[in-house]
Chain A
């Protein structure tokens, strides 16, 4: 029984199947017009940063600009900059002079960037930027409560809805006014990484009033096909569909609740196969359906920590050696937890070598995690192995060019003449 299930698992992992969309979404551009409303962009920005995305601001020029006459911001990029990273998600927010959405240069840029981006997201009157660029035609949309009439009068091709927190057309998501941007951004996170992950983000922000799916969501054909015709039928034409990993995980949670565990497992495995660096939270979904099917699961992260405390690093290494062969690729260690334990129990007590070894173990499980690599670099630096530390800092920055901690580290080492 155990062997069979394990085989299936590996076979599924070897499918290199992808839907229409890019599964690895990282870059989120937020366009800031003059006198932009503060919470319109800071709310979603906070959500996206906590959720681990790379967020940057773009404005017409790179000059200082004002938000509601209160905040003075230096945008990361101006429209003329050649080096603006191509966004996976482009965000337009409200406030300021609405006619900026008609500004030729902005409109042109919005059109180009928005069509390059996988997801177009707007908050409040930011919907006018998407509307001007023609991206809402034939779609359902919403905006700030007192701009609803204006949007529907000026753009008859848009189905404008009132009294809804957000509208999700699949790739185009618009939200109601100001604070609704927070809810909308959490919905985007739920779409990409799953509702459980988004709820974790909300709890970090103490925004526990967030209710998942409390908006208008246009149904997804792929997910519907899985739900009504089964996973195996849906998968046949997978390349015709557009869907996101979080949506798959959410469907899996629904199927799991209904007791349809095999289908749930297939959805989770498909989501994992599309992820570059899945987290333990994603694997927790798999753990749950495995357990319910009576299949064996790897020990939990807590168990590893217990072994570490009782038997030391060698005990953990031995266990990891055994488990990693049986559960290939499975993320059974909680990176945050292990980093914390290594820091408190070893580093702070002067045992840098064990802290290093613990991080090495973590690195084996998360070879593509820039933060894990960065922390490992820190321990190398502390144990006076600067050449290896620098290698690791550079490696982590290569994995995530926007890991500002690694960037700062390299900058300060350069300043000291050590690089």
Chain B
């Protein structure tokens, strides 16, 4: 059970952390007759992803006109909100299904139009695309849907705008996905445009979904031109994923110079995010520049080669790339927790040193370090760290508990 207790402890940590993250409201719109996988796939992607991004917290909830509804005639759901009390949407998910009544309902139309205006990203799945038709959001954009709906789209819109045999079409704010399970991939793309490419990859790995790749879809609007706009106008800070995905697309097209430009810019916008360095490192590798293992790769070195080897890399990185962030606070905290559980306190101390050095402004680094020092019976050092910690975080409960423990010894 140990593994799981750990995961629960982390989830609690995650909740604390949520306060320091930007909250993104993900509204999953539901109606009677909605297709099950159309909405549950994207809901799973966003709900699972919060664990893998240190910058954003995805607040996923359901909204419907009805107080209770049935999905596909089988699953009974009570929505979290109705049209009158739903929060302001950042990401709107419009699933398909038996949608005729909902599409023609005037209150539903009104709410959808209002929330599209609030949203940065809109994701349609399958026949969910029809929610956008009457309000005119589909004019002059490229789009896709379920293979059985494609012929109808071709009759309704310019056939050249209808894209076949792709999992999704990215038209900027609006991403349309193909049928049912394709919503999972459309959601990965949308997620990556917000939180970064690697966050989507890690979420996919967690979900044991090996099929997603950015090239499964079509990026028809130019994310690159959007990214260039941000490069020119620094006032409007884009979400992490915009420049990151633009960079990864440039990488795929072997346009290294362009990729590095985007990643460098993103690094300057998000200097404390290990993901910025992960992407930059992947570009530097292509031009045979030495780069340290970053992000999950660094954690793997810790796991497989030990703290001493990792510390060497940490030192070398400091001299070659000052200020690079090699790991996320969460990942390093988990690693330290693991080492404490294994009673490997000497390794834990070394890892904790790197964590403190990188994240000096976080109480959890202090708490862990003090715990380790107590175990190693370095009482004076522990006392000193505690004093420093309490100066910074005088009200921190865990530090105060540790103070009691130290005093009683």
Q: Which residues of A come within 8 Å of B, CB atoms?
A: 37-39, 42-43, 45-46, 49, 55-57, 64, 68-76, 98-99, 144-147, 149-150, 176-180, 182, 203-207, 209, 404-405
Contact = CB atoms under 8 A, between A and B. Distances in A.
A204 B180 contact: yes
B37 interface: yes
Contact of A147 (B3, B36, B184, B207): B3
Interface string B81-123: 0000000000000000000000000000000000000000000
Contact of B77 (A37, A74, A98, A206): A74
Contacts of B77: 71-74
B44 A68 contact: yes
Q: Chain B CB within 10 Å — which of A56, A69, A147, A176 has the most?
A: A69
Contacts of A99: 1
A68 B147 contact: no
A49 to B, nearest CB: 5
Interface in B42-79: 43-44, 47-48, 60-62, 68, 70, 72-79
A38 B60 CA distance: 12
B173 to A, nearest CB: 23
Nearest to A48: B74
Interface of B: 1, 3-4, 28, 35-37, 40-41, 43-44, 47-48, 60-62, 68, 70, 72-80, 146-147, 178-182, 184, 206-209, 211
Contacts of B70: 404
Contact of A69 (B47, B147, B178, B209): B47
Given A37-B44, A71-B43, A146-B3, A45 B181 contact: no
A74 B43 contact: no
A140 B147 CA distance: 38
Q: Chain B CB within 10 Å — which of A38, A69, A72, A150 has the most?
A: A38
25 contacts: A37-B44, A39-B184, A42-B44, A43-B37, A45-B36, A45-B74, A46-B35, A46-B36, A46-B37, A49-B36, A70-B47, A70-B62, A72-B77, A74-B78, A98-B4, A176-B208, A177-B208, A178-B207, A179-B209, A180-B208, A204-B179, A205-B181, A206-B178, A207-B180, A207-B181
Given A46-B180, A73-B76, A98-B1, A205 B37 contact: yes
A312 B48 CA distance: 56
Given A38-B47, A177-B207, A204-B180, A404 B73 contact: yes
A39 B208 CA distance: 11
Contacts of A71: 40, 43, 62, 77
A205 B207 CA distance: 18
A72 B180 contact: no
Given A49-B72, A55-B74, A206-B179, A72 B79 contact: yes
A205 B96 CA distance: 12
B78 A178 contact: no
Given A38-B40, A98-B4, A204-B179, 14 more contacts: A37-B44, A42-B41, A43-B41, A56-B74, A68-B60, A72-B77, A72-B78, A75-B76, A177-B208, A178-B206, A179-B184, A204-B180, A207-B181, A404-B70
Contacts of B180: 46, 204-207
Contacts of B72: 46, 49
Given A71-B40, A72-B77, A74-B77, A150 B3 contact: yes
Given A42-B40, A70-B43, A73-B77, A206 B208 contact: no
A206 B78 contact: no
A2 B78 CA distance: 60
Given A38-B43, A49-B72, A205 B179 contact: yes
Contacts of B206: 177-178
Contacts of B47: 38, 68-70
B44 A39 contact: yes
A206 B74 contact: no
Given A74-B68, A74-B77, A179-B208, A38 B44 contact: yes
B63 to A, nearest CB: 12
Contacts of B40: 38-39, 42-43, 46, 71
B247 to A, nearest CB: 27
Nearest to A53: B74
Nearest to B45: A39
A220 to B, nearest CB: 26
A206 B72 CA distance: 17
Q: Chain A CB within 10 Å — which of B44, B72, B76, B184 has the most?
A: B44
